[in-house]
Amino acid sequence: MTTPVDDGAIDGFGEGLHGDLLRPEDPNYDEARSIWNGMIDRSPAAIVRAEGVSDVIATVDFARENDLLLAIRGGGHNVAGNAVCDDGLLLDLSAMRSVRIDPERKTARVEPGATLADFDHEAQAFGLATPLGINSTTGVAGLTLGGGFGWLTRKYGMTVDNLRSVDVVTADGELRRASEDENPDLFWGIRGGGGNFGVVTSFEFDLHEVGPAVLAGMVVYRGADAPDVLRHVRDFNADAPDESTVWVVLRKAPPLPFLPEDIHGKDVIVVVPFYAGDIAEGETVLAPIREYGDPVADVVGPHRYAEFQQAFDPLLTDGARNYWKSHNFSAISDEAIDTVVGYARDLPTAQSEIFFGQIGGAMGRVPADATAFPHRDAEYGMNVHTRWEDPAMDDACIAWSREFFDAMAPYATGGVYVNFISEREGEETLGYGENYDRLVDVKTRYDPENLFRMNQNVEPAA
């Protein structure tokens, strides 16, 4: 997949960069090729640490002209490991992490190396936010290109529904602006089509008034209560307003200070309510969630939005081995709940978990063909998050994930979230759904040679 390039040509290319060019013999090389998922161990021939758009253009041109496999790294959090490749060229954008807020227009300009923490730090200075994910170390770029959802999605839509424009370097090395008015076909594809069409060097988002305090937190129950709790949350969510979002996590209890010691390491079900509106109003709306059953802990209350965005960071630190599988659901049946509970009792490691993220609301009122992200009928996104440390457990953990994925398939919509796909197993077309053929057309126009193929790939027409 790559053409050998002599050292002189690579050195000459590096001399023209503003940022650094790292080779395998350089002392920082191993650190630069390491990413969040510890399963990924790949060695590119060279790593470009871009400092600006000119470095991005030069790298895209060099990769195209020398037929080099090209990987693009933003925040480096993608579970599939597409941010790094063997033998080819890695374009590392993590130094490009500027976030500029315009509080009067309520917009943000965000570079591709920024994380959710970078974004929230700047936007919350003005009491503003846009729908992003739930883990502050996630990269804004990768999250957005796959669609993007989180606590604000039911109120304000997907991340891509709040994207106003992008600057993108396409496969021909040209810097283009894409929006509803400029290169609209490219803009359509970027909103959910992954990194298939180019390297986005700037994202422009719409912002909304959020926080600085929001009503959020966790209500924790013993694992034995899981069937009843899941049914209660499902029934509550069916009629909840857009401001209300309630997620559910099934896992072993981590040693958190607000949990009784006798439950540490035991099966629990964690209910995570969030209210995107007035806190007093939220207290009333979320009361049925907090008053249900016999929880072992309830830490729901006013929290600073930026801090709550970091609440799950300790469970998702760098370096562990991770394998994910994903389903979308338009509804959660009793039979699906029984299946989930059975597998949750048999999690392969204490770090593994199953979560159901409630979506729908404003996200579901956007037509399926309005953006490349097609799954507007989904009311829940499920992630089977298998996580472990010992490489000897790889086969067992992956096999468990696949088995559970297959067991849940009869209850799911048939669509998956592309950002949750761990490897290429034919799930790409499920991720892009009914929009796949149109994505092929956009890919063929802007990347006919498939230069950008380290992703959940859309292949151009022959």
CATH number at residue 64: 3.30.43.10
One domain for residues 61 and 184:
no
Task: Provide the pLDDT for residue 6.
Answer: 75
- pLDDT greater than 60 at residue 51: yes
One domain for residues 205 and 218:
no
Q: Are 119 and 128 in contact (CB under 8 A)?
A: no
Rounded to an integer, the average pLDDT of 340-366 is 96
One domain for residues 25 and 84:
yes
Q: Please state, in angstroms and rounded to a whole number, the distance separating the CA atoms of residues 419 and 403.
A: 20
One domain for residues 56 and 107:
no
**Tokens encoding 299:** 């830490």
Number of domains into which the chain is organized? 3
The predicted-structure confidence for 83-126, as pLDDT tens digits, reads as follows 999 999 999 999 999 999 999 999 999 999 999 999 999 999 99
Task: Provide the pLDDT for residue 428.
Answer: 67
CB neighbour list of residue 316: distance below 8 Å, 6 or more residues apart: 135, 137
One domain for residues 170 and 220:
no
One domain for residues 325 and 402:
yes
Cis before 273 (ω within 30)? no
Q: Please state, in angstroms and rounded to a whole number, the distance separating the CA atoms of residues 116 and 118.
A: 5
Q: pTM (2 decimals)?
A: 0.94
Q: Is residue 452 part of a domain?
A: no
Q: Is residue 408 part of a domain?
A: yes
Question: The domain that contains 335 carries what CATH number?
Answer: 3.40.462.20
The predicted-structure confidence for 193-210, as pLDDT tens digits, reads as follows 999 999 999 999 999 999
Task: Provide the pLDDT for residue 76.
Answer: 74
Task: Provide the pLDDT for residue 385.
Answer: 94
Task: Provide the pLDDT for residue 462.
Answer: 83
Question: The domain that contains 193 carries what CATH number?
Answer: 3.30.465.10
**Tokens encoding 377:** 């009928």
Q: Please state, in angstroms and rounded to a whole number, the distance separating the CA atoms of residues 87 and 118.
A: 31
Q: Is residue 458 part of a domain?
A: no
Q: Is residue 325 part of a domain?
A: yes
String of b and e for 233-247 (b: at least 16 CB within 10 Å)?
bbebbeebebbbbbb
Task: Provide the pLDDT for residue 1.
Answer: 46
Task: Provide the pLDDT for residue 75.
Answer: 85
Nearest to 247, CA basis, from 293, 212, 289, 299: 289
Strand bridging mode 199-206 / 107-110: antiparallel
**Tokens encoding 342:** 């059975």
Q: Is residue 426 part of a domain?
A: no
Dihedral sign, Cα of residue 73, residue 77, residue 78, residue 82: positive
One domain for residues 267 and 364:
yes
Quote the distance between the C-alpha of residue 179 and its chain's center.
22
Question: pLDDT band at 2, cuts 50/70/90?
Answer: low
Per the prediction, the chain carries an average pLDDT of 94
One domain for residues 103 and 87:
no
- pLDDT greater than 70 at residue 388: yes
Task: Provide the pLDDT for residue 292.
Answer: 97
Q: Are 268 and 221 in contact (CB under 8 A)?
A: yes
Q: What is the residue range of 205's domain?
A: 99-210+433-446
For the chain, the C-alpha Rg in angstroms (whole number) is 22
Task: Provide the pLDDT for residue 425.
Answer: 63
Lowest-pLDDT range of 21-25, 240-244, 369-373, 430-434: 430-434
One domain for residues 77 and 105:
no
One domain for residues 227 and 256:
yes
Q: Are 137 and 77 in contact (CB under 8 A)?
A: yes
CB-count exposure of residue 315 (10 Å: 0-12, 13-18, 19+):
middle
Residue 276's alpha-carbon distances to 129, 303, 356, in angstroms, are: 11, 12, 19
The predicted-structure confidence for 67-80, as pLDDT tens digits, reads as follows 999 999 998 788 99
Q: How many CB atoms lie within 10 A of CB 14?
A: 17
The predicted-structure confidence for 261-298, as pLDDT tens digits, reads as follows 999 999 999 999 999 999 999 999 999 999 999 999 99
Q: Please state, in angstroms and rounded to a whole number, the distance separating the CA atoms of residues 336 and 11.
A: 57
Q: Is residue 316 part of a domain?
A: yes
Rounded to an integer, the average pLDDT of 414-437 is 84
One domain for residues 116 and 154:
yes
Residue 392's alpha-carbon distances to 42, 270, 395, in angstroms, are: 19, 29, 7
Q: Is residue 455 part of a domain?
A: no
**Which domain-ending residue is among 42, 65, 92?**
92
Query: Is residue 37 helix, strand or coil?
Result: coil
Task: Provide the pLDDT for residue 426.
Answer: 63
CB-count exposure of residue 38 (10 Å: 0-12, 13-18, 19+):
middle
- pLDDT greater than 70 at residue 82: yes
Q: How many CA atoms lie within 13 A of 84 on its CB side?
A: 27
Q: Is residue 453 part of a domain?
A: no
**Which domain-ending residue is among 92, 121, 136?**
92
Residue 220's alpha-carbon distances to 235, 244, 287, 383, in angstroms, are: 18, 18, 15, 19
Rounded to an integer, the average pLDDT of 291-314 is 95
One domain for residues 401 and 264:
yes
Q: How many CB atoms lie within 10 A of CB 196?
A: 27
